[in-house]
């Protein structure tokens, strides 16, 4: 059998598996959500700022400039950072899923038909899933010292969804006001 065909088949199978995992994570969030302005504001974009810089090449360049540096140190650094990054990625995926579910619940319980919002939601979910797949692939290669990973576009997409949800949820006044 042709080695190129085997490679293409293995890569295709891997991508299908990653796609299935990403879609499963996106749709596994519960339907019981505290959709309040406070809850939405708690989904802070600030908590993802370290994620954007976590895999920055400057840290490894700094390590290389240190006396006693070994390639094993860089490999260990990449493995550790990849694990931390993956934890951020899982949290981002969960938050995105909760915001998506909250938007779906709002559309479901709304008296107005919102095909525009449904279209935007579906488009953003597809973009997020595609971005997650690309980042998972790049993260695999990064771990082996090949290429970089940039999650800024996923974080921006999450923020867009969060702001859309925030615009639909009214601010509630405290009971004593």
In contact, 176 and 122? CB cutoff 8 Å: no
Alpha carbon of 106 to those of 33, 34, 90: distances in Å?
11, 12, 24
Q: Is the pTM of this model over 0.85?
A: no
Tell me the two tokens of residue 147. Answer: 């290429």
147: left (phi over 0), alpha (psi -120 to 50) or beta: left
Tell me the two tokens of residue 144. Answer: 């082996």
Could you list the pLDDT tens digit for every one of the 177 residues in the chain? 788 778 777 777 777 767 666 666 555 544 455 555 566 666 777 888 888 888 888 888 888 888 988 888 888 988 999 999 999 999 999 889 888 888 888 788 777 777 888 888 899 999 999 999 999 999 999 988 888 888 889 999 988 888 888 787 765 554 444
* Of 125, 124, 96, 133, the residue nearest 16 (C-alpha): 133
Domain map (residue ranges) of the chain: 3-168
């Amino acid at each position: 059998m042709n080695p190129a065909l085997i490679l293409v088949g293995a890569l295709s199978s891997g991508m299908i598996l990653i796609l299935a995992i990403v879609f499963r994570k996106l749709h596994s969030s519960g339907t019981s959500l505290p959709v309040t302005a406070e809850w939405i504001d708690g989904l802070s974009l600030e908590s993802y700022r370290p994620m954007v810089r976590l895999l920055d090449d400057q840290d490894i360049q700094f390590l290389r400039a240190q006396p006693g540096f070994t390639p094993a140190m860089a490999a260990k650094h990449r493995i550790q950072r990849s694990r931390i990054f993956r934890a951020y990625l899982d949290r981002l995926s969960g938050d995105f899923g909760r915001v998506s579910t909250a938007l779906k619940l709002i559309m479901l319980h709304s008296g107005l038909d919102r095909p525009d919002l449904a279209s935007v939601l579906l488009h953003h979910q597809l973009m997020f899933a595609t971005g997650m797949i690309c980042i998972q692939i790049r993260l695999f290669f990064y771990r082996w010292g090949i290429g970089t990973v940039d999650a800024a576009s996923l974080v921006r997409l999450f923020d867009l969804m969060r702001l859309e949800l925030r615009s639909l949820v009214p601010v509630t006044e405290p009971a004593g006001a």
